[in-house]
Amino acid sequence: MDRDLFIPILLGTTRKGRESENVARFVHGLLEARDGIETQFFDARDFDLPHDHYGMEIKDRFPEWRDAIIRADGLVLVVPEYNRSIPGVAKAIMDLLLEEYIHKAIGLVSVSAGGWGGVRVVESMLSMIRELGLVATFTDLNFPKVADKFDDDGRLTAEIYHRLGDEFLTELIWMATTLRWGRENLPSKYHSK
């Protein structure tokens, strides 16, 4: 490949006291440590979403996000489970774009206070991911009982997540590499060769 893979990460919650931020910072650090990967951290708190209008018509109000996704080979989405589903702000951000996502890999990182680890939010997101044209990896990274995984300073205490995170990223990178080759070499109405 003539350039590094570009895989941004989105922390998809604005909730006060969110423990998902520790998870997103950890995964972002893993991405930054990988050779051949460029990344960028996006935080839902930094999106000044309007309260009266959503959708692709306003994507130009968010040029940094739009341009990152146009350039991206993949995406990591970190979300907590809210009532078995995705936080509304994460859905609103994802809905800002459509064609920019097509044939790109996405890795899902779920977070929950309880023992399920956010697996239900992953299940609820899959139909949205498919509609957007993204290709989800089959390896998710789930953080059940997230408060037990980090210390008071946000440092990971559950060492197994270094291995789980590595396996998660290995699959995402494989998928992102494969899909980039396809976008660059195979004809499609969604992107030019």
42 neighbors 11 (Cβ within 8 angstroms)? yes
**Which tokens hold the place of 65?**
């996000």
What's the rounded Cα separation, in Å, for the pair 37 and 76? Answer: 13
User: What is the rounded distance in angstroms from the CA atom of residue 104 to the CA atom of residue 90?
Assistant: 18
- Is there a domain that residue 192 lies in? no
Q: Which of 134, 164, 172 is nearest to 26 (CA)?
A: 164
Segment 4-15 shows an average pLDDT of: 97
pLDDT digits (tens, 9 = 90+) for 139-154: 999 999 999 999 999 9
Confidence (pTM): 0.94
- Domain that includes residue 142, residue range: 5-185
- Has residue 91 been placed in a domain? yes
* CATH for 43: 3.40.50.360
H helix runs in the chain, sequence order: 20-33, 63-71, 88-94, 119-132, 160-185
pLDDT per residue as tens digits for the range 113-145: 888 767 888 999 999 999 999 999 999 999 999
Q: What are the phi and psi torsion angles at 10 (to 5°)?
A: -120, 120
Neighbours of 97 (CB within 10 A): 19
Do residues 84 and 115 make contact, with C-beta atoms less than 8 angstroms apart? no
> Do residues 89 and 12 lie in contact, with contact meaning Cβ atoms separated by under 8 Å?
yes
pLDDT beyond 60 at 193: no
Q: Do the domain assignments include residue 190?
A: no
| pLDDT tens track for 31-86 | 999 999 999 999 999 999 987 766 667 888 899 999 999 999 999 999 998 888 89
5 pLDDT band, cuts 50/70/90, is very high
HSE-up (13 A, CA, CB side) for residue 135: 18
pLDDT of 191 reads: 76
Q: Is residue 193 part of a domain?
A: no
**CA-based R_g, the chain, Å:** 16
Work out how many domains the chain is built from and give that number.
1
Domain-located, residue 191: no
In a domain, 9, yes or no: yes
Note whether residue 120 is domain-resident.
Answer: yes
Phi, psi of 85 (to 5 degrees): -145, -175
Structure tokens at 172: 């995402």
Query: Residue 166 domain-assigned?
Result: yes
